[in-house]
A = this chain, B = another copy of it.
């Protein structure tokens, strides 16, 4: 990267004895002060060539708006807030968080927006107070919301605070808040059910995750409906924590009794699925020969695991990038929308196989597999 310089090889000097001002930038770019202001506050209405000329002038002069002065004038802070409500252990365990942050930064960073992150525990009063404080102190221009919840109060809260928000996920009430989420979930859950049924599985369990998340209920409902069309009932654990520890414990309980053991388990996310596979292996079961496993999200480690994880893919990073651009557009930034993220779909790899009883003359009693 090189810095453009004028013919004399030096950047043009600002007025002697003072720091450059918005007036200097306007003069150099041949525009009004308000045009400079519009460009730096993301208000739009400036043609692309003019915008570039103004930005180039500001760069040459080493000028940028003071964040504090801009905010006092009611202008932009160029900061997006992200308040994550999750148990720290679950957050650290789930690669989805890192994928989301990386996707948001991919779009925000080059446009000189920052992401202001808060991680708090599940205390509704504390959460409301935090949003209120960030609004009152004018810390952010807008919020990204994640982990859509049953009975979610955040859309109303943001409306009351007069701050735009965008949800990554499906809203609790349709239309309550702008949102970006993957499509095709219905078809992907049906494909997962069909895939397992075709492999001969009849006893299928589902570790659904926390019951207060909107997507958890949607996924389970759709999986149940798909299995019902095959005349099967889902063995759903409907309210499980997302930590490795809770997942291992729930998996052990599911697999503990060889005479009443599912032949396939679907997990709410890939990290849980990998923990589930390890737990089954530790009980002496082989995956996929004795137990088929399907994850959700298609996060990186699942692709490198042995066996490679069959999963319901959604491109978390693409969804976050789309969400960031949509939010920037809401803020008046002149960004091109990204195409919709690819639909969710079943990605079949190595962790699913024919159900044990379908694979030739195996004994019906599988107790010997629980050793050592």
State the A residues within 8 Å of B (CB): 1, 64-72, 79, 88-89, 91-95, 97-99, 101-102, 105-106, 109, 112, 114-120, 123, 125-126, 133-134, 136-139, 244-245, 248, 271, 274-275, 277-279, 281-282, 299-301, 303-306, 317
CA distance A94 to B98 in the complex (A): 9
Given A101-B117, A105-B119, verify A72-B79 contact (CB < 8 Å). no
Contact of A119 among B102, B271, B275 (CB under 8 A): B102
Question: Min CB distance, A19 to chain B, in Å?
Answer: 10
- CB contacts (< 8 Å) of A244 on chain B: these are 300-301, 303-304
Name the residue of chain B whose CB is nearest to the CB of A244: B304
Question: Min CB distance, A123 to chain B, in Å?
Answer: 7
CA distance A198 to B65 in the complex (A): 63
Given contacts A79-B116, A244-B300, A279-B304, 18 further A-B contacts (CB under 8 A): A1-B123, A66-B72, A68-B71, A68-B137, A79-B139, A93-B301, A97-B98, A105-B117, A105-B118, A109-B119, A114-B116, A114-B134, A114-B139, A115-B117, A244-B303, A245-B304, A271-B301, A277-B306
- CB contacts (< 8 Å) of A299 on chain B: these are 92
Closest 3 A-B residue pairs measured CB to CB? Answer: A68-B71, A105-B119, A67-B137
- CB contacts (< 8 Å) of A102 on chain B: these are 88, 91-92, 119
Given A126-B1, A300-B89, A304-B275, verify A72-B64 contact (CB < 8 Å). no
CB pairs A–B below 8 angstroms (27 shown): A1-B126, A66-B72, A66-B136, A67-B68, A67-B137, A68-B69, A72-B72, A79-B116, A88-B102, A88-B317, A91-B102, A92-B300, A93-B301, A94-B98, A101-B117, A102-B119, A105-B118, A106-B119, A115-B117, A117-B117, A271-B301, A274-B301, A275-B301, A278-B306, A279-B306, A281-B306, A301-B301
